[in-house]
A and B are shown apart, each in its own frame.
Chain A
Amino acid sequence: MELSRYPLIKGVLKSRWPQWAFFAVLLAMFLFAIFAGIGGTPVGNHNFGIVFVWIAWWAILILVAVPLFGRGWCAVCPIPVPGEWLQRGAVLDPPPINKQGSKGRWLNLRWPNKLRNIWLQNTSFLLVALFSSVILTTPLVTAIVLAAMLFLAVGMSLVFERRSFCRYLCPVGGFIGLYAQAAPLELRTKDKSVCVRCEGKPCYNGSQAGYGCPWQVFPGGLTKNTYCGLCMECLRTCPHDNIAINIRPFSADLSKPSARLDEAYKAFIMLGSAIIYAAVLLGPWGSLKSAAYQVGSAAWLIYTTVFLAVILLALPGAFWLMVRSSSYLSHLRQKSQSIVRRNTSPRSDFSRLATALIPLGLAFWTAFSLSFVLTNGSYILMTLSDPLGWGWNIFGTAQTAWQPVLTFILAPLQSLVLVGGFAWSARTAQKNAAEIALSPAPVIGFCLGVTLLMLWLLL
């Protein structure tokens, strides 16, 4: 269903004011979070920087924004905005009338070809993940991380063209792109042949109506949500009204599996991180928590080694064996039934079948997040009234007692989410394996194994 055919929705999306209003408010909140981390109470659960970033924002992001709107958060994220405004020389205005195209100010260099993948995003996420126990609980460290992201984003906007930070470095953007493939919202062209014939490609190069795609994507070639930031510039610049915002089935992009190893590894990184976070942050093992928290200690180095080994070697290794098993089983079946298999490489099979881990990873993160959001959500009310721990009581809720909510539905809900995620993954594996004439059973077995592990950790 095309949402943008409704004039009201289209008008809101095309206008720069609503997006600007989001940017202005969220940028102020972002700066305030940094300020709170530096000047507010060092007690994490009473500090705006911790509570609103790691509980409120995270809950909205992983439980609502990503599953329903895909890269919807990227459309209003304040981190790249100051850099983008400096790049454009404007916070609201489209490019000047006498200037065609969207060539940015400053150095405006092309992002290096060798880095045109998400390996850097994988690395930046792993870096944040390794220090997460400290980042998530220490306001000052959260402030440093947020400020570093802001400065990096601004710096990259001044050196490289468009939103290179979002596209190639942002640790959050990487996984949002991965899971945006499962979202029921997409931006696509209505008719690709119109794009082919279109002169000047203003959606990519910009025009007086708007800027060329900040995400360095040509909308005419869009087949997946992964790299579309939903910034709506193409909706503004398209001279043929050929851009549509559509509601679609949840799994639409998952039937178009990627053969890229960097994207496949993103799925493993996210899946493995969710499992390890569940063990460290929600599990009963005090020594594990201490090891994760004592950055730089021998215990932390062991934790780091295990963390990286599980995510980068053990999980992909086990999956690789499953994929090879699929291939072997298929080979046996093909011999007996004279089926001709499509000629794909083992590496390509690995990456394509890793798509099945996307819904599972999203389910893992949803189940994990439900646990701490329902447990710690009451801190939001407390911090709303006294965001810096300075003794304020702005809305009269500063004395709200910590109170976990809806705990009675937590376990059933988590079970439902995990089982649902497994079923969704199994179905995805079945479809994608069929495409390349492989047996889905080993991959489904892998998904079942990690789902049982996650159920054990959470319940």
Chain B
Amino acid sequence: MRKAEVFAEILVIAISLGVIAIPLVLRFGAGNAIEIHARVAEAGGWMPDGIKAKAGETLHLRLISDDVLHGFAIGQMPETEVDVEPGKVTDISLEFSQPGNYTFYCTRWCGLNHWRMRGTIEVSGDAPASTQPVSEPLYVTLGIDLDAPHPAVEIPSQTPSASRSAQVASDLPDAYLSTDYYRANSPAEAFSQLRAEPSTATLEDAQVWDLVAYIWRSNISGDGILDGQSLYQANCAACHGEDGSGNGIFADDLEAAGEASMQSMQGADEMMMQRPKDFTNPRQMLGASPALLHGKITRGGMGTGMPMWGAIFSEAQIWGIIAYLYDFQFEGFSP
């Protein structure tokens, strides 16, 4: 066999093996980053969806989308949000000062089950997991059954306006303006109680509803409602619609999926994946107290398709979203 033949054979084999071996060596010899693949929930969601880390140490993540555009963020740490583009690698470095369980989630409307894309980072360390005392959720303290229907007994004939009520607000007893009152009562309950007040006896129903709007408006800050609006549009509008009417881009598919699967659970009511709530419906919204909405957002809809946001949003963010939800019922609400 000629030397040239041997040379050609060796070179062909070397090149053929090299194009496979070199990438493998480069890949598996590189760094200590943890690779997380993102796929729509139906195809597996985050893989892996459980990661371990140590407090005070840098955690390197390589985020790769295997299908569509996803987003990555850690709950209550909005600064960690990054887009995860398909076919590209997004490197991020994180450091957790406190041990505990952190939830990471998808921030892009990637598909019908986008909200199922959740994962946890279990951060261990010497420090105690949390220095804050665990407080009971408000709806538990108030004994609210989140899954029970809560329709408003009475609804206004015209949209209540916080600004219209300025003239009669002086008649309002101070107790109604406290944060505790606002959170514990629904607008419909506030209307009934105000209707029974001697100081408002001379007012028309519409004027009393305006006072309700005034109470709600006086309990939120301009920044809070703007934050709430921003969070709502980024996280809630996909299902509930940008206008709050329950007609988000996933609404029809969610309803169809619910009907098809008939996922049910035992409880006060049989529940299944259902059409997202319509926040523009006064019968529903004016019968819901901020505490009830807080519970629904924090805990989730338990089988209805409404995700659990307690691990994602901070308390302030959740109250901001609730404030914005009432904007669908009251005029002059947004700053």
Q: Chain A: residues with CB nearer than 8 A to chain B?
A: 20, 23-25, 27-29, 31-32, 35, 39, 41-43, 45-47, 90-93, 386, 388-392, 398
Contacts and interface: CB of A to CB of B under 8 A. Distances in A.
A24 B16 CA distance: 8
Nearest to A41: B87
A391 B1 contact: no
A93 B16 contact: no
B8 A28 contact: no
Interface in B23-37: 23-24, 26-27
B276 to A, nearest CB: 25
Given A92-B8, A389-B88, A41 B23 contact: no
Given A41-B66, A43-B87, A35 B19 contact: yes
A390 B87 CA distance: 8
Nearest to A36: B23
Closest 6 pairs (CB-CB, A-B): A46-B87, A391-B89, A43-B87, A92-B8, A32-B19, A43-B86
Given A31-B16, A43-B66, A20 B8 contact: yes
Contacts of B27: 390
B79 interface: no
B87 A47 contact: yes
Contacts of A24: 8, 11-12, 15
B88 A46 contact: yes
B20 interface: yes
Contacts of A392: 26
B16 A28 contact: yes
A389 B87 contact: yes
A28 B18 contact: yes
Given A29-B19, A45-B87, 10 more contacts: A24-B12, A25-B15, A28-B15, A28-B18, A43-B65, A43-B86, A46-B87, A90-B5, A92-B5, A93-B5
A94 B205 CA distance: 103
Contacts of A35: 19-20, 23
B9 interface: yes
Contacts of B88: 46, 386, 389, 391, 398
A39 B20 CA distance: 10
A141 B332 CA distance: 57
B91 interface: yes
Contacts of B12: 20, 23-24, 27, 91
Nearest to B33: A391
Contact of B8 (A25, A41, A91): A91
Among A90, A386, A390, A392: residue with most chain B CB under 10 A: A390
B4 A92 contact: yes
A42 B11 contact: no
16 contacts: A20-B8, A24-B11, A25-B15, A27-B12, A32-B19, A41-B66, A42-B66, A42-B67, A43-B66, A45-B86, A46-B87, A46-B88, A91-B12, A386-B88, A391-B62, A391-B89
B288 interface: no
B123 interface: no
Given A31-B16, A43-B86, A46-B88, A390 B66 contact: no
A19 B18 CA distance: 20
Interface string B158-197: 0000000000000000000000000000000000000000
Given A28-B19, A31-B19, A47-B87, A389 B64 contact: yes
A41 B88 CA distance: 9
A90 B27 CA distance: 34
A45 B86 CA distance: 9
